[in-house]
């Protein structure tokens, strides 16, 4: 394989080194086919190094199932006044937002590939992780993969409704899109699934209906039995806060301003003010869209290695120093 230094236009092939190419290569779309192919090969070689190994993904399973078990235990503990409600509320909010990350790995089969023994755990994680969000795995997976296929397409990207001109309006939009009469968030997903109309889409719609009806029946029964505050603080409010957090950090922040639809411009590299972990590693979302098989916790390392290749493709990596 060629070394990057012989391929990266305008860097190592500078005329002052006496190695200028016969025909100058432009950056980004200006690359010739040979360069593009070689860059892609190098990119893939790096991605392979960081591709998820299901044998090493067990922490995702352990955390998901452990947090779900804890969340279930919160109910009797809170009802018996053993667990302070504020503590249950804080933990449930973390579980609600964090659950999407583990579910997201399951959506891309990173915890267990189809046909392997680990597949059971992949599906278990997916099914359990977003229950607090009242967001069934079948719908989440289908809509997320759709988002990958049609990123930033105003008509086909299920997450396009998160578009907003600035961060404050983006936070507002996370709430607005969940309103009953607004075509955003899960309402938008339902409409897309109806349009797709395949058996899998119908199954996802059915799962959504069942989970929504079950959760509402649970809410109403518990509330009228004297446990409305427990429901509010262990499920209802954590769900809303979790969804807003996810929508902002996982959808708006890495895709803003949602103008690019190409492989290298449908995400953006950005600097986060709340730190790597609280922004869930979304500064490196470009790596995820290029190689979804790289798990979330490895995208940072893959990005650092891929950075010269991404810059050669025209990705603006300047917001991040490393």
Residue number with CB closer to another protein (27 or 232):
232
Contact residue for another protein among 11, 25, 153, 212 (CB under 8 A) = 212
According to the binding rule CB under 8 A, does residue 118 interact with another protein? no
Among 226, 277, 321, 322, binds another protein (CB under 8 A): 226
Q: Kindly tell me which residue out of 45, 69, 229, 278 binds another protein, with binding defined by CB under 8 A.
A: 229
The most distant pair of C-alpha atoms in the chain lies apart, rounded to whole Å, by: 81
Two tokens at 36?
A: 């593009």
Judged by CB under 8 A, how many residues of this single chain contact another protein?
19
**Which one-letter DSSP state was computed for residue 139?**
H
Q: Quote the distance between the C-alpha of residue 186 and its chain's center.
A: 15
Does the protein bind another protein through residue 169 (CB under 8 A)?
Answer: no
| Nearest to 251, CA basis, from 175, 147, 150, 140 | 147
- DSSP-derived 3-state class of residue 10: coil
∠219-225-229 over CA atoms, to 5°?
60
Range in contact with another protein (rule: CB under 8 A) among 29-37, 45-53, 151-159, 217-225 = 217-225
Asked if 220 interacts with another protein (CB under 8 A), we say yes
Rg (alpha carbons) of the chain, rounded to whole number: 22
Burial bucket for residue 30 (CB in 10 Å: 0-12, 13-18, 19+): exposed
Binding of another protein at residue 320 (CB under 8 A)? Answer: no
Is 18 or 226 the residue whose CB approaches another protein more closely?
226
DSSP assignment string, 45-92: HHHHHHS--GGG-HHHHHHHHHHHHHHHHHHHHHHTT-S-HHHHHHHH
State the minimum distance, in angstroms, from the CB of residue 232 to another protein: 6
Task: Report d(CA 76, CA 274) in Å as an integer.
Answer: 34
Residue 231, interface with another protein (CB under 8 A)? yes
Q: Is 203 in the site for another protein (CB under 8 A)?
A: no
Q: Is 237 in the site for another protein (CB under 8 A)?
A: no
| 228 near another protein (CB under 8 A) | yes
Which lies closer to another protein via its Cβ, residue 231 or residue 290?
231
The DSSP line for 164-206 is -SSHHHHHHHHHHTTSTTSS-HHHHHHHHHHHH--HHHHHHHH
Q: At what angle do helices 185-196 and 137-149 cross, to 10 degrees?
A: 80
Q: Does 224 help bind another protein (rule: CB under 8 A)? A: yes
Candidate list 15, 114, 180, 275; residue touching another protein; CB under 8 A: 180
Kindly state whether residue 214 participates in binding another protein, applying the rule CB under 8 A: no
For the beta carbon of residue 31, count every other beta carbon within 10 angstroms.
20
Q: Please identify, among the stretches 28-36, 38-46, 218-226, 270-278, the one whose residues bind another protein according to the rule CB under 8 A.
A: 218-226
* Residue 219 binding another protein, by CB under 8 A: yes
Residue 258 C-beta: closest distance to another protein, Å = 24
Binding residues vs another protein (CB under 8 A): 176, 179-182, 209, 212-213, 216, 219-220, 223-224, 226, 228-229, 231-232, 236
């Amino acid at each position: 394989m060629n070394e990057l230094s012989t391929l990266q236009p305008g860097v190592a092939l500078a005329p002052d080194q006496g190695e200028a190419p016969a025909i100058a290569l432009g950056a980004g779309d200006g690359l010739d086919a040979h360069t593009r192919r070689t860059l892609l090969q190098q990119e893939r070689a790096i991605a392979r190094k960081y591709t998820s190994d299901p044998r090493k993904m067990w922490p995702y399973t352990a955390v998901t199932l452990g947090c779900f078990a804890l969340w279930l235990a919160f109910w009797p503990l809170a009802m018996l006044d053993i667990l302070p409600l504020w503590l249950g509320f804080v933990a449930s909010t973390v579980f609600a937002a964090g659950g999407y990350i583990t579910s997201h790995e399951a959506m891309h089969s990173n915890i267990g590939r189809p046909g392997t023994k680990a597949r059971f755990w992949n599906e278990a994680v997916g099914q359990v992780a977003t229950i607090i969000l009242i967001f069934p795995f079948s719908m989440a997976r289908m809509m997320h993969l759709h988002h990958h296929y049609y990123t930033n397409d105003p008509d086909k990207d299920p997450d396009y409704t998160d578009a907003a001109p600035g961060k404050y309006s983006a936070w507002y939009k996370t709430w607005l899109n969940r309103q009953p009469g607004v075509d955003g968030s899960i309402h938008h997903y339902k409409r897309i699934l109806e349009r797709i109309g395949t058996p899998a889409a119908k199954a996802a719609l059915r799962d959504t209906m069942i989970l929504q009806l079950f959760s509402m029946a649970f809410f109403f029964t518990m509330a009228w039995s004297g446990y409305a505050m427990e429901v509010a603080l262990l499920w209802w409010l954590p769900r809303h806060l979790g969804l807003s957090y996810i929508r902002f950090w996982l959808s708006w922040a890495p895709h803003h301003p949602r103008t690019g639809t190409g492989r290298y411009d449908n995400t953006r590299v950005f600097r986060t003010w709340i730190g790597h972990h609280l922004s869930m590693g979304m500064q490196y979302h470009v790596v995820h869209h290029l190689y979804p098989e790289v798990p979330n916790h490895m995208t940072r390392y893959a990005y650092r290695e891929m950075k010269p290749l991404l810059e050669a493709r025209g990705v603006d990596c300047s917001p991040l120093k490393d």
